[in-house]
Amino acid sequence: MKISASFLGSKAIGKTLINLNVTDVDYIHVDVMDGKYVKNKTMPFSELVTIGNYTRKRLDIHFMVQNPLKIIDSYATLNVFCLTFHLDIQDDLNTVFKRCDDYGIKKGIAINPNQDVSLVYPYLDKIDLVLLMAVTPGLPGQEFKKETLTKINRLKDEIKRRKLDVLISVDGGINLENVKYLKDCDIIVSGSTIINSSNYQETITKLRG
């Protein structure tokens, strides 16, 4: 299981990224929010582009935006592992995926807690990753929704049945207690649990189990 560390709740982003860079965390999870798809808004690209000054880790970018086509070209210039988009955006998903393919970047779909996991099934043969949100997107520090576990099992069964190579990632409220239920996932996204700890590497090692 790989770990993607989120810095969404950090009050000192540069220092947090420097500290994460010296750990064995696999990816840095970047939440991009436009203030429209979700109420919150994150730093503009003009500030985020400096992330390479603090870390060489690859970026796991989660777009919580209505119209990602306007900004994909910019984010594709970063050290990106995957770009993930929500099902109910205003842009056409197939066009979005084509833009990612043009850059040779992996693409994913995020499923919100109130959405049935079967909604992603028609896209499974077109994507590389499914991000299951275990909290309502946009706000850090929420509790993990246990019904996500059922979604994980259903999604795994569908991917296996169709013999696809699609990664399952889970984001939201993951801590040292509930991570034991997520060992069959490919990637977990952890924010507060890591960045609020006194020893990032020790916490990351415990999350891996």
Give mean pLDDT, residues 173-177: 95
Nearest to 204 by CA among 20, 16, 59: 20
CATH no. for 2-208: 3.20.20.70
For residue 42, the model assigns a pLDDT of 87
pTM for the whole thing?
0.96
Q: What confidence tens digit (pLDDT) does each residue in 96-105 have?
A: 999 999 999 9
Confidence of residue 139 (pLDDT cuts 50, 70, 90): low
Please classify residue 7 by burial: count the beta carbons closer than 10 Å to its beta carbon, then call 0-12 exposed, 13-18 middle and 19+ buried: buried
Rg (C-alpha) for the chain, rounded Å, is 16
Active-site amino acid positions = 31, 171
Check whether 74 has a pLDDT greater than 70: yes
Beta bridge partners of 80: 59
138 phi and psi angles, rounded to 5 deg = 115, -20
19-43 pLDDT, tens digit per residue, is 999 999 999 999 999 999 998 898 8
**Residues 173 and 134: beta-carbon distance below 8 Å:** yes
Q: Are 189 and 204 in contact (CB under 8 A)?
A: no
Query: Please, which pLDDT band fits residue 140 given cuts at 50, 70 and 90?
Result: low
